[in-house]
Each structure stands twice: as C-alpha cells, then as structure tokens.
Amino acid sequence: MQRLITVIMGQNCEQFIDMCLESVKDSDAIVYCDGGSTEEFINKLFCKYGFMDGSILPKLQYNGITLIQNKFDQEDKGMNGKQRNFYLNYLKEVYPDYWCLVLDADEVCEDINKIKEFIQTAEAGLYSIHMRHFHNDLGHEDSTVEKHWVPNRLFKISEADKYLEVEHPVLMGSKYYQTDITTIWHLAHINHVFSIKKRYEKNIKHSNMHSPEFLDNWKDAHMLGKYPNKEVNVLDIPDVILKNFNIDKDKYYFASRNIEIKHPIQVIQWNNYFKPESVLDLSAGKGPYLYFWKQLKVNSAGIELSQYAVNHAFCNDINQGDVSDENSYPGRFELITAIDILEHLNDEKLNKTLRNMFRFGDKFLFSIPFIGDPNLTNDKTHIQHKTKEEWIKLIGSYGIKIEPTPQDWLFKEQILIGKI
C-alpha cells in the first residue's frame, strides 16, 4: 500500500495554518517545515496539535505532526530552494518509500483522500496539480490563464532529485506528469477577508446598532466580493498613496496615449503651413507627433517630463526634462509646438516655459482648451482656465505675435499660431 506524507512550509502563518492542516489531516503523516516562527506561535501549535520534534526520527505512523525547523533568510534569493531541499533531504532519510504532497501554509487541499487513492495506481514520478488562486476575496480568482498548474507538488520521494536554489524553485526529477485529481486552493491574497471576519465576530457580540441579519449579510457581501462598488480611476488616486504601493501613475496616464489618425493629418497640415527645417515638441509624451515629423524627414526632437513615456516612446530623440527648465532644451528650433501642455502648468512654470519658447524658437504652435471648451473642465489636471483672448495677451507679452489659424485645420478652435 502506498503511503502519503504532506509537507507544509510556513512561518508565523497563524491566519492559514488551521485550514491547511484540517485539509490534510487524513494524510498518513504530516511534517510542518518552519522557517523561523516566533516562540509564541510554535507553542500554540504544540498545544493545539501535539507537534513532535523532527530531530527524533518518528515512527511511520503516529498521532501528531512532526516539526522540523530551518531559519529562512529573507535576504537570500536562493533561500526558497534551500528550504525545500532541507525538507526534501529529511523526507529521503525518514520516508524514502512514501509519496509526498507539498503545500505552503496559505494553501488548502480540496480532497486529500482523492490523492491517497490516486497514488495507489499512479506511475511513480513528479506530478503538477491544478491550483486556483483566490483574488481579493472568496468570490473572485486569478484568471490570467484559463487553468493554473503548480509544478511537481505531488511526487514519489524516491523519484525526487533536488530543488534548484533560486527564487521560485521547481522540484527536479526524471519523470514528469500532470493530474487534476484534486485542486489546491491558494489563500495568500485574501488578507482582507480575515479582517472582515474579525470585525464580524466582534460586532455580532457587541453591536447594538445592527441586527444579526444585517451583520451576516454585510459579512457575506465583503467575503464573496458582492458588496456594491465601482472601479476607481487610477489617475484620481493621490500620488502619496500610489508611491507608497510603488504604482507608477504615468503607466496608466499614457496607456491610451497611442498613435491616432489625427496625428499624421495634423502634422501634414502643420508642415505645409510652416515648412520647418526643425521642430521641437514640448511635453511630447510617447511621441506620436514626432513619429510623423520624422516620417516627413524633418529634424525633430521632444522634451517629456515622464521617464515612463520616454522609455516607451514611438521614436527616439525625446529627452527627459522639464519644459520650464531652459537646460532641458537641446538647442534652437525653427518651430516649437506646445500641444496640450500649457494648461497643465502653474503660473511660475507657465511663464518660464513661454520665456523658453521665445528664446529657443522662431515659430510656434499652441493647442490649448479655452474657457467654453468642455475639454477644459473635463480634465481636472487642467489648472489654467483662460479665455482665448487672455491666452493671446499672455503669449503676446513674451514677444510672440499671434496669426490667424487656417480654417481647414483639425481642432482649429483650440490652436494658436505664433511668430516672432
């Protein structure tokens, strides 16, 4: 008869360990491989489950769980592989003829008895098992691929070789298979659910405001992802929050800033009017306009504040820099374009940018939403709210004379043409 041992890897895993152990309690043996939990945590496990010291070789059958410990060095990128080799070497010494199922403490086996039945007739080797990852709550799961497989989590110990000492190690062997005889459920990304459970248990005892029925519905709605909500626009979230979670707002701001049919049409119109030998595009973004200036063989460059946009640009010659800083300008250009940028600048940066344009250019093209244009108020990053006449006066104060905009141009209602 083939026997099954379950190995569980964990460290201070109090939220998950009870569910994990309960799901594999029918294993022929269980080993908990601890990575350096607190003494308090280990004592709780000893009291609750009667752990045995793994340094004393256990008998093949016993009541209780064997504890083996090896300090997990979080700074060592190969430590995951080293820890798995630690328990693997223990298994080879103590349980060489067993099959083994490996779980992390934040995982639950759906039906351990199906695995026990399976190994009675299965070909000896290493088996990948179906895994489902909860995502945020108990009502949603990861769908990045149609079906997830966790490699080589079930294996005949005599067929196992070793784990590579890398960040995400996979057990090596000579015979590899796949089975969906049961499923491993991954709980790591539902920490929010535990806080809901804790609040529910507290409120059901002490709340005088809400009925038990209300609290029960509240709990279920949160845990199953049914609570009414709507999607938040990433661009609305304060920078201080995004920075704390290492989220680059520019990645989402520029996600939809791609090449459109308007870009070549506008560049051709502008080229026919100005016939420039050189063009500098301020706040070039990923460079959709520059891409077509280069198609026309016009010497062109751009300035863009976002390093993300520069790194993902459609063309070269975009310099990361601030348009209000004269040191960001790569030289003098016959035409300088300022498309949808001036309205985003505060007064100080706006005045410095207009001064720089006058200094480094001869001809100018501005695209600005004026008061009365719904595009001005639809974007809350627009901080300059001026009439067309106020913009003409401001630009003119820097020695730039405004000329009539051709009536056949796209978006002519927000374009100003200037020359020195």
The confidence score (pLDDT) of residue 244 equals 87
What are the tens digits of pLDDT across the range 324-351? 999 999 999 999 999 999 999 999 999 9
| Statement: residue 181 has pLDDT above 50 | yes
**Domain layout of the chain by residue ranges:** 4-189, 193-223, 262-419
- pLDDT band for 232, please (50, 70, 90 cuts): confident
Paired with 185 in beta bridges are 108, 132
Distance CA 291, CA 263 (A): 9
67-76, 148-157, 317-326: which has the minimum mean pLDDT?
A: 67-76
What's the mean pLDDT in 369-380? Answer: 88
Q: Which of 283, 280, 367 is nearest to 322 (CA)?
A: 283
Percentage of the chain modeled with pLDDT above 70 = 97
User: What sign does the dihedral 167-168-171-172 (CA atoms) show?
Assistant: negative
Can you tell me the distance from the alpha carbon of 388 to that of 400, in angstroms, rounded to the nearest whole number?
Answer: 15
Strands 126-135 and 137-141: antiparallel
Q: Does 64 or 294 have the greater pLDDT score? A: 294
According to the CATH classification, is domain 262-419 in 2.60.200.20? Answer: no
CA atoms within 13 A on the CB side of 366: 26
Band (pLDDT 50/70/90 cuts) for residue 108 is very high
8 A C-beta contact, residue 32 and residue 51: yes
* Domain 4-189 listed as CATH 3.90.550.10: yes
CB-based contact 157:98 (threshold 8 Å): yes
Instruction: Give the per-residue pLDDT at 53.
Output: 64
Average model confidence (pLDDT) for the chain? 92
Using CB atoms within 10 Å of the CB of residue 244, give its burial: 0 to 12 exposed, 13 to 18 middle, 19+ buried. exposed
Per residue in 30-87, pLDDT tens?
999 999 999 999 888 888 887 776 654 444 333 468 999 999 998 898 999 999 999 9
> Among 77-81, 88-92, 237-241, where is mean pLDDT lowest?
237-241
Is residue 207 over pLDDT 90?
Answer: no
